[in-house]
Amino acid sequence: MNNPTLSLRHLWLILAVVAVWGTNFVIIKFALAHLPPLLLAALRFLLAAFPLVLLVRRPAVPWRNLMFYGLVIGVGQFGLLFYGMTGDITPGLASLVVQAQVFFTVALAMALSGERLRPFQLVAALIAAAGMVVIGSHTDGHTTLLGLVLTLGAALFWALGNIASRAAGPVNVLAYIAWSSLFAVPPLLGLSLWLEGWPRIAAGLMQADWATWLAVLWQSLGNTVFGYGVWAWLLARYPTATVSPFSLLVPVFGMGASVLLMGEALPPWKLWAAALVMAGLALNLLWPRLRAAGQHR
């Protein structure tokens, strides 16, 4: 492992990744203006799979792991997230609420390992949960209780995906995502035909302009190939403790982009909710490192 201090060039690179991940919520909203949500999810994973599966070998993990990851991330996480973002939650709040995956991941890992919840983890979860309660108590025409539930469901499926990817061990991230994406496409297309119907699918494809297709490509190439690829590349060169805290900036970019590009309002309650969720995430992520640093002084 190299020096734990990021070089300036790599600092800009990691900021570019979190900026892509955060602002992508606005791009999702833009694409949903023309394409049905389940169809958009299917196209996202179709382009995440091809042509990468033709260029990289299948990772040395069981097929059932690839299938499980593809289903929970493709159908579960992004199916629910895109469906909720059609009109039930704003991009800024979606980028914030979906970070509940951190706490779901911790809870699932503990359930599987039998490890007990640490006091700081309980406090962090309660603080973040208080932020979710604030959001749930201020539902309106832009953010509904259904949107909050769907986004939390997406966060839970993301956490299940995290457990699956950890079980896969150290593999080529892009190969893992590309090959697992193959399993997401058929059920998403089937659900789109069933729930959205061919007339709506055909109308969405006919109405989609070049900007919409760029947004679809951004889902696959920007988020997947660039985002996950660079993130994995950085994790291979720096300690996890150096890289992972930057994920806290994803909701900052998400809410900022939603305000600047879509005019999302930032009333006091939304700022309080964001502060609570971010504080919970920061405590969960940073407390063990701060405590360890204090003990070594």
Q: Say if residue 239's pLDDT is above 90.
A: no
d(CA 253, CA 260): 10
Closest alpha carbon to 43 in 227, 231, 232, 224: 224
- Amino acid letter, residue 155: A
Say whether the peptide bond before residue 186 is cis (omega within 30 degrees of 0).
no
Average pLDDT of the chain to the nearest whole number: 89
**1 falls in which pLDDT band (50, 70, 90)?**
very low
Is 292 a domain residue?
no
The answer to whether position 257 is within a domain reads: yes
Domain count, the chain: 1
Domain that holds residue 104: 8-121+142-269
Provide the b/e sequence for 46-66 (b: ≥16 CB within 10 Å).
Answer: bbbbeebeeeeebbebeeebb
Residue 2 confidence (pLDDT) above 70: no
- H/E stretch holding 260 reads helix 250-262
Tell me whether residue 261 is in a domain: yes
Closest by CA to 158, choosing from 3, 21, 17, 2, is 21
The string of pLDDT tens digits covering residues 93-106 is 999 999 998 889 88
- Encode pLDDT of 66-103 as tens digits: 999 999 999 999 999 999 999 899 999 999 999 998 88
Tell me the pLDDT tens digit for each residue of 247-272: 888 898 999 999 999 888 888 998 99
Domain presence at residue 41: yes
Give the pLDDT score at 118: 83
Residue at 178 is within a domain: yes
Note whether residue 134 is domain-resident: no
52 in a domain, yes or no? yes
Checking phi first, is residue 169 left (phi over 0); if not, alpha (psi -120 to 50) or beta? left
Percent of the chain with pLDDT over 70: 95
Q: End-to-end alpha-carbon separation of the chain, Å?
A: 22
Question: What confidence score (pLDDT) does residue 240 get?
Answer: 66
User: 277 lies in a domain?
Assistant: no
**How far, in Å, CA of 49 to CA of 183, rounded?**
9
